[in-house]
Amino acid sequence: MANEQENGGEDPEFEIFVQPEQLAGVWANRAHVGWSEHEFTIDFVRLDPFQPRGILVARVSGSSAFVMQLIDTLRAVWHDWARKAMPPEIEGRNGEELPPDD
């Protein structure tokens, strides 16, 4: 499902099955995070832009280790996306190759 570019090349490939009704995914424009001694819970919410209401579209719970992996992966993917999406002048590239990431 995810390729090495998407997951930073750190995880092995897994065969992941997706139910047909989940293929489209969900849209969220707000997230709420709660935590307890042993886990974190992230609620993904879609807020109505015209009414003061929203709907919970997904709830994901996981261990603190999973949350740290998620943060690291999101940070790496965001950095890669920003390097490619930003104009060279903003990224400081001006035609030269950027040094590799650590």
pLDDT tens-digit readout, 46-60: 999 999 999 999 999
pLDDT score, position 32: 97
Residue boundaries of the structural domains of the chain: 27-89
Q: What is the pTM of this model?
A: 0.69
Buried b (16+ CB within 10 A) or exposed e, 44-69: bebeeeeeeeeeeeeeeeeeeeebee
pLDDT in tens, 7-28: 555 667 899 999 999 999 999 9
Helices (H) and strands (E) in the chain, counts: 3, 3
